[in-house]
Amino acid sequence: MAPNLPSNPKGLSSTTPDGLVAPPAAKVQKTEGFSVMAEAKPEHYHAGNKLTILVDMDNTLCDWEGAFEACMKAKFPEVALVPAEGRLNWDISKDYPAAAADKVKAVSGTPGFFSEMKAVEGGVEAVKAMAAAGHNVLLVTAPDPNFYTQCSQEKYEWVEKNLGAEWKAKVVLTRDKTTVRGDFLIDDKPHCDVGALEPEWAHVVFDQTYNRQKGGKRLSSWAAWKDVLGVKAELDCAVSRNPRASQENLYPNGINFSCVFPSFNQESIVRKTLAGLVKQKIKSNFKFEVVIVDNNSTDDIDAIYKKYRTKLDLTLVQRRKLANTFSVPSARNMGIQQAKYDYIIGMDSDVILNENFLENMYQFLSSKPNNVPYMVTAERIFVCTEGCSDDKLLEDYTETERYPRILSKANYFKPRDNRFSHGNILENVEKGWQPWAYFYGMHTAFPKKIWEKIGGYNEVYDGWWGYDDIHFAWEMTVKGGCLPTILGGTEVFHQEPYGSQWVPLGGVVDKLGTSNPRLNKKDNPNWQRICDTIEGYADWKTDYYQKLAGDIVTL
């Protein structure tokens, strides 16, 4: 995992929940340069004449029909079977009497229903031949909404048993296949091109009786895949394109940064955030500015501006009076609208950037094509800066090494950023399993042109508990084509708000008193919005919370 871990204030080693040993505090800031901890594979960034071929599973690669007939006979012998050749509807329940609808739906809930399906003749051999020829093959399948957990797990089991464990990384679970980029989608569903986006792929209909009215390319036998797709096994492709290469130059004026954050009170914390920007170690030829959006602060934001306007290229945007001073998404959009540079460093007002943060970001982006959008984040180190001044930080950045490392309620009292101390964040990002869930607005960097393309942050969110960040990262990835990336050696210090009864690293947490309102999902409208938006997010995050916190209130 990460080469740089949070450490305790005395410089003593400690053990994280992962069983990893955290290094002394002084070592955190000694790292020069960055490392790419995780970068989503550009599965659709074609090279040469390589194609991305999306393949459905049920009734395309797997014999769903045969499994249904066998289970129906065993469980409900009183219901007369509709033979496969008599099927008229993709939704099989429409082919049966209304009185049998519940039984028809219940069949796929039979344990082993999905994992024990037979493979459609020639299908396994065909997709392996596609991959062997150099094409990028993804298995794009929709989980059964009535048995989501069982279906998802068993589909992975089927893939491992029939194709091999390495193919599990090629599975994409979604009920909206328009959000997946590719050249072709081979699918039996006649209307799979209806969804949130205009599909980039061409639909190749896998022949079934209920899709005979669908026009376009049709695959009646897996043996004919090369002819139907118009390709040859040796990659002599008639169709080749690169969706991401259609992007224009994302940095027409060079790679320069606009650091943008909203602010509401917490004057002392904001001062140290700005001091950390003053102390950035810049070795390369780039510029950066800072844009603060004041969300109706009642403290002396003007004094902060006057102190730092001579030390930074600083803009202060003061908003009209708001009914909700925590309107974070709209504040972020307002600040980015004022930004003059092409790459945005999205921040919060309580984050102190690693002194190498901007330099590392520049070096990373400089090593990449200027038409490929990257969305970048890093790990957080939780600290308490109460009683520490921004003047000390301005004198010496190593002051950050003396900030007490803490167990923060915002971090579920984990000694390490919870995204890293639970689950397989790096593997999840690389394989594309809910990668946007790891990108928080407190330090997420992205091209301004892609922010413009998706229409900015969704302002329906009120900002509480970060779901606006996740929605934004999802749209940047799905609609904007960004490659989610996590950098090492580029950590940030997250200052604990004053008066929060912070617990020093190694301290004792009163578990009976740690019920966290952010775990109460039932009363959080933002939770419902994000779950309605992102397919599979609710189940994934439920598992995450339960393993992470243990004292979850309700979902």
Distance CA 317, CA 290 (A): 11
Q: What sign has the CA pseudo-torsion 313, 318, 324, 327?
A: negative
Q: What is the four-CA torsion angle of 168, 437, 39, 549, rounded to 10 degrees?
A: -80
199 domain residue, yes or no: yes
- Is pLDDT at 22 greater than 60 in this prediction? no
| DSSP class per residue in 342-362 | SEEEEE-TTEEEPTTHHHHHH
* Final residue in a domain of this structure, among 234, 249, 271: 234
- The strand ranges marked E within 412-547 are 443-447, 483-488, 492-495, 503-504
Q: Which amino acid, 374?
A: Y
Q: What pLDDT score was predicted for residue 71?
A: 93
Structure tokens that stand for 8 in this block: 């305790």
Q: What is the four-CA torsion angle of 423, 427, 430, 434, rounded to 10 degrees?
A: -30
Q: How many C-beta neighbours within 10 Å does residue 15 have? A: 10
10 domain residue, yes or no: no
The verdict on 230 and 277 lying in the same domain is: no
513 domain residue, yes or no: no
Q: What pLDDT score was predicted for residue 239?
A: 37
| DSSP class per residue in 39-50 | E---TT---TT-
- Of 45-54, 180-189, 286-295, 439-448, the poorest mean pLDDT is in 45-54
The verdict on 223 and 266 lying in the same domain is: no
pLDDT in tens, 269-288: 999 999 999 999 999 999 99
545 domain residue, yes or no: no
The verdict on 223 and 367 lying in the same domain is: no
Q: How many domains does the chain have?
A: 2
pLDDT in tens, 470-509: 899 988 887 788 899 999 989 999 998 766 667 777 777 6
The verdict on 190 and 280 lying in the same domain is: no
Distance CA 464, CA 138 (A): 35
Q: Which residue from 542, 519, 538 is spatially nearest to 464, judged by alpha carbons?
A: 519
Q: Which residue from 232, 239, 456, 437 is spatially nearest to 339, judged by alpha carbons?
A: 456
Distance CA 385, CA 121 (A): 65
Given 58, 187, 188, 469, which residue is catalytic?
Answer: 58
The verdict on 218 and 265 lying in the same domain is: no
466 domain residue, yes or no: yes
* Final residue in a domain of this structure, among 505, 520, 546: 505
Report the CATH number that the domain containing residue 435 is assigned in CATH. 3.90.550.10
CB 200 within 8 A of CB 182: yes
- Is pLDDT at 293 greater than 60 in this prediction? yes
Structure-model confidence comparison of residues 448 and 437, the more confident one:
448
Q: What pLDDT score was predicted for residue 98?
A: 92
* Final residue in a domain of this structure, among 184, 219, 234: 234
The verdict on 211 and 268 lying in the same domain is: no
The verdict on 58 and 168 lying in the same domain is: yes
Distance CA 491, CA 353 (A): 7
- Is pLDDT at 216 greater than 80 in this prediction? yes
The verdict on 329 and 391 lying in the same domain is: yes
pLDDT in tens, 296-319: 777 888 899 999 999 999 999 987
- Is pLDDT at 356 greater than 80 in this prediction? yes
Beta pairing class for 184-187 and 202-206: parallel
Q: Looking at 40-143, list the stretches that DSSP marks H as alpha helix, in order from N- to C-terminal side.
A: 64-75, 101-107, 123-132
Report the CATH number that the domain containing residue 93 is assigned in CATH. 3.40.50.1000
8 domain residue, yes or no: no
Distance CA 83, CA 68 (A): 11
The verdict on 138 and 283 lying in the same domain is: no
The verdict on 131 and 227 lying in the same domain is: yes
The verdict on 223 and 262 lying in the same domain is: no
The range of the structural domain enclosing residue 398 comes to 257-505
Active site residue 91: no
Q: Which residue from 437, 447, 260 is spatially nearest to 353, judged by alpha carbons?
A: 260
252 domain residue, yes or no: no
Q: Which amino acid, 49?
A: N
Given 56, 348, 350, 469, which residue is catalytic?
Answer: 56
Active site residue 56: yes
CB 117 within 8 A of CB 67: yes
Distance CA 204, CA 199 (A): 13
224 domain residue, yes or no: yes
The verdict on 300 and 401 lying in the same domain is: yes
Q: String of b and e for 501-531 (b: at least 16 CB within 10 Å)?
A: ebbebeeeeeeeebebebbebeebebbebbb
